[in-house]
Structure 1
Amino acid sequence: MNRQITKLAVASLILLAALIVATTYWQTWASAGLAEKQDNAIQRVAQFRIKRGLIRAADGTILATNVRRKVGGQTLYFRRYPTGRLFADLVGYSTQGRSRAGVEQSENAYLTSSNANLSTIFNKTIDRIKGVTITGNDLILSVRPSIQRLANQQLAGKCGAAVVMNPKTGKVYALASQPTYDPNLVENHFNLIKAPGAPCHPAAPLLNRATDGLFTPGSTFKVVTATAALDSHKFTPESTFYDPGYCIEYGKQVSNAASPDGPVESFGHPTLALGLQHSINSVFCNVGKALGAGTILEYMKKFGFYKDPPLETPANEKVPSGLYNGGRLFFPSHPATQVDPGRLAFGQERLAVTPLQMAMVASTIANGGVAMDPQVLNRVVDAGGHTVVRIGRSPRHCGGQSRPRLRAS
């Protein structure tokens, strides 16, 4: 009899353990994944029982907080964004009807405290059993409201984006996109989100143009070409060129920019350094032909082109920079015959970039050729005020010793 009781007790313990493991897994470990399924109505409601962590700027300004409401006898938490439009494209939104965007989406696991580890799993399981409200972790971002306001002021009435980052650390101080929107309207007044009279078509205020908008870089790309030129040892900052005001490329005339009073500018015999300072198209057209498209493409990859920007934003809100053909990213298998090196050298030739990518290029030059991947997330802080994760970046070298010489020129 005792033997049978022992077997029954062991079997009961095994079943109980299996039940605890299964409950823990589905309620905690897999909860983040289930919550991502937009068609799961139960999960959509359940996620609002969690008191999401605050999102703060570097100076402590609250960018995202919670409003508690009673709905059908349940206590639910809805997001409110005190700074409105100021950080909308970066912070994004978290709503019941329209899911999430921005940092609210990419860092959802931290904000809901659903990033899985044994301690979190155990504590959350106990809290669920007790009916205690789950509180997420706070996020401290690197952005600074004063710089963000200035960036938005400079973009007012325009269609574009601005990124300000620290070349030494990669920390992003401002990431602005215009036209933008008020995230407080997304939940119940989505139809009011529009940009009447915007200078771009479509206005698309929900598009984060800093990471997901493609633009022709034009002369801003010349620093990439100059870097490749100096590293090739075919050129120095003192290398001279004949400049009649244009360059002949594939039988066509590529002109310099027009001077303020009208005629196309001609600089006689400028150096490479002068060509960069005055943005002389003919100089870079000739540099491009001498280097070849393959070399320029190689340096583009060193600067981070052809990869999604390494920033803590959702994958569906960022695109790689590079050559585009018919709306698709295009890396030529035979650059010598598929790409015009003269036009590529000064930022034309089907080249499309994000503002973030060009901010990364400028920061790399300013940092002496050492690239620091951009970051907007500084720290993750738990409900007790303790830092549980501190974010940092490792340096990445982009080539030879040309950047200090380029910066000096």
Structure 2
Amino acid sequence: MRRAPKDSAESHRLITRRGLILGGAQVGFMGLLALRMRYLQVDQADQFRLLADENRINIRLIPPTRGRIFDRNGAVIAENVPSYRITMVREEAGDVDEVIARLSRLVELDPDELRRAMRDLRELRGDTPVTIAERVSWDEISRIAVNTPALPGVTPEVGLSRRYPNGKDYAHLVGYVGPVSDRDLEKIDAPDQLLLIPRFQIGKIGLEAKREDLLRGKAGSKRVEVNATGQVMRELDRKEGQAGADLQVSIDNNLQSYVSARLEGESAAAVVIDCETGDLLACASSPSYDPNLFVRGISVANYKALLDNKYRPLPNKAVQGIYPPGSTFKMVTALAALENGHASLNDTVYCPGHLKVSGRRFHCWKRAGHGNVDLHRSLRESCDVYYYEMALRTGIENISNMAMRLGLGVAYDLPLTSVAKGLAPTKEWKLANKGTDWVIGDSVNAAIGQGFVLTSPLQLAVMASRLATGRSVTPRLIKSVNGVEQPTGHGEDLGLNENLLREVRKAMYAVSNNRRGTAYGSRIIEDAFRMAGKTGTSQVRNISSGERATGVRKNSALPWEQRDHALFVSFAPFDNPKVAVAVVVEHGGGGSTAAAPVARDIVLQALYGDDPPLDVYPEKDRGIVKKRQEELRRARPHTAGDESDRA
């Protein structure tokens, strides 16, 4: 049936209207799409170009070269040496376990290192290079290079590793570096991005840790182009970082090596100070350890051996160890009494072998006593009773003030780990720390360096240098930074009465050069190098009245841990002091027998710069000294004029 013309016209109008509406909608949509495309392609072009570059270009840090450390003469004591390592990038490797399995068939992988590496591969960004093995040989690197197509994501690299050519000689001073740990990061509020690089090494103890700010340097960066999987296609550019500063320490390499060897076999420490500048010429603690073991990652067995050693090789006894100074403290007590007018140079004290104070007997080391003694004889023969009397006259406050004036009870600002402050006790200190009042017996004990008094070998060496010069000599360890000389520790005048100081020095001279002196057996017979000193023996156990009645047991009859500490302080030459030396031998017995001979050898080595001629020793000692010199030369071959270690 044919549609009526009227109906056909109406249908045509409807179709036309719908077409117009649909066409208009399409045109509108296309217009909006065109506007959006223009917005994205023109207005937002720079932003999207940047996002594309970020997906295509990675910026990676370049670790800086760590600053080197030299001795005062330019010998290298901490350096960087090439080290081959194998790294892996997770995103490039694909199946990490499979690649590791292939790699292990080519080189031997340390299980501990591999576990750390696998943890880093899981936790770090996929494009972060993670060290799989360090210090691999050239042959192993060659095998990796040949098999690169079968090891996606694996790269053999050449890096730098820390090395300490003098081994244990500088372990306590320079310290060592090691990988950044979680504990290290916890101590830093906003850690440098360098520290987040896997296995990046920082100073852990000693100078390496305390001057990390100078030694680390500033990181560089490089821009690399990567593909969709993160594989590096090419390096676009690089900005080199800033190498760490080179440090020159005040230590004399040959002297440090000699002192370390001379202390071998003892639990001991020795410090040598330049009286003019305050430079630490040697600072050794025995026994020591090889810091290179820690750089590589010390084994559990080796670390346990260090911890279990009764001689305690890990602490730096020279600056951390604190000991009762014993009779080496007597110069402090004497000057406190003389300077404050509580005694004169001509005063004498009668020593019957003890002094009774508040109903208690304080004994002299010489049971029969010394008779009448003055300042000179009391120091020469180390009479205790004289100093008991000086303590009663002057009081602990004056003694404590003089101790600090001479450098005791002070924590020196040195870039070393745990520099001890020691203790020059006062009444206020005891009340605050012990909760009891000071009693007169405390002053009597302190007068001879016992009781609460504690000092370090470093402080004793400072005291000797101040007695020798009359100046506030202060120890210095860093001599220069990148060639720029650092301030010395020459010091100002102490303001002590020069006449009194002169008499104390004369008495110290007699200790080493008078036949009745406690260190006469360790004298130097060359007039130009005569030594002034003071012996000290500090008790580490209480001696009961019963033992005194039957006879005090000799140190040789006691277990090692119960024997007295042996000390000696000195300066030389007497007429023109160049060096001050302090030696402490833990549980060594007596200062005159255990510490003074060591100090004499060190003094001569420091003054001569090499093994001294035998004729500067007493004739009776020359055979023993000659044998010892030969043994020590064999023990330290790396100091025998090797110019290859010079900067």
TM-score of the pair, normalised by structure 2: 0.48
- Tell whether 2:488 aligns with 1:392: yes
Change (3 A) 1:332 1:392: farther
Partner of 1:376: 477
8 A Cα contact 1:332 1:338, kept in partner: no
Partner of 2:247: 139
Letter in 2 for 1:87: Y
Q: CA-to-partner distance for each residue in 1:317-348, whole Å, 9 max, x for gaps?
A: 211010589xxx94657975486111101001
Change (3 A) 1:86 1:206: same
- Tell whether 2:283 aligns with 1:175: yes
| SS, match of residue 247 in structure 2 | strand
How far apart are the structure 2 equivalents of 1:407 and 1:236? Answer: 16
How far apart are the structure 1 equivalents of 2:254 and 2:346? Answer: 41
Partner of 1:108: 212
Partner of 2:506: 408
Cα RMSD of the aligned pairs, angstroms, is 3.0
How far apart are the structure 2 equivalents of 1:280 and 1:338? Answer: 19
Change (3 A) 1:97 1:181: farther
| SS, match of residue 318 in structure 2 | helix
Partner of 2:74: 60
Partner of 2:380: 277
> How far apart are residue 298 of structure 1 and its match?
1.5
Describe how 1:84-99 pairs up with structure 2 within 5 A: 84-96=167-179, 99=203
> How far apart are residue 60 of structure 1 and its match?
2.0
How far apart are the structure 2 equivalents of 1:106 and 1:360? Answer: 22
TM-score of the pair, normalised by structure 1: 0.74
Q: CA-to-partner distance for each residue in 1:378-408, whole Å, 9 max, x for gaps?
A: 1112xxxxx2353323514444213233213
Partner of 1:350: 452
How far apart are the structure 2 equivalents of 1:338 and 1:243? Answer: 19
How far apart are the structure 2 equivalents of 1:130 and 1:92? Answer: 33
8 A Cα contact 2:392 2:440, kept in partner: no
* Higher helix fraction (1 or 2): 2
Which residue, 157, 160, 173 being the options, matches 1:77? Answer: 160
Letter in 2 for 1:220: T
Letter in 1 for 2:501: R
8 A Cα contact 1:165 1:172, kept in partner: yes
The answer to which of 158-167 and 81-90 deviates more is 158-167
Alignment gaps of 5+ in structure 1: 1-11, 13-41, 115-123, 259-263, 382-386
| SS, match of residue 336 in structure 2 | helix
- Tell whether 2:468 aligns with 1:360: no
Which residue, 281, 290, 298 being the options, matches 1:189? Answer: 298
> How far apart are residue 257 of structure 1 and its match?
1.7
8 A Cα contact 2:278 2:490, kept in partner: no
Change (3 A) 1:226 1:338: closer
> How far apart are residue 75 of structure 1 and its match?
5.2
Number of residues of Structure 1 aligned to a counterpart in Structure 2: 337
The answer to which of 175-184 and 63-72 deviates more is 63-72
Change (3 A) 1:182 1:265: farther
Change (3 A) 1:145 1:103: same
How far apart are the structure 1 equivalents of 2:287 and 2:167? Answer: 13
8 A Cα contact 1:310 1:373, kept in partner: no
Letter in 2 for 1:104: E
8 A Cα contact 1:218 1:347, kept in partner: yes
8 A Cα contact 2:220 2:240, kept in partner: no
8 A Cα contact 2:336 2:399, kept in partner: yes
Letter in 1 for 2:401: E
Partner of 2:630: none
8 A Cα contact 1:54 1:137, kept in partner: yes
| SS, match of residue 65 in structure 1 | strand
Change (3 A) 1:339 1:51: farther
Larger Rg: 2
> How far apart are residue 150 of structure 1 and its match?
2.8
% same residue: 27
8 A Cα contact 2:267 2:287, kept in partner: yes
Change (3 A) 1:127 1:406: farther
Structure number with the bigger relative contact order (C-alpha 8 A, sep ≥ 6) is 1
Q: CA-to-partner distance for each residue in 1:241-276, whole Å, 9 max, x for gaps?
A: 111121223322222224xxxxx2522111111101
8 A Cα contact 1:293 1:339, kept in partner: no
> How far apart are residue 226 of structure 1 and its match?
1.5
Partner of 2:192: none
Change (3 A) 1:71 1:391: farther
Letter in 2 for 1:365: L
Q: CA-to-partner distance for each residue in 1:207-251, whole Å, 9 max, x for gaps?
A: 111111111111111111122122112223332111112122332
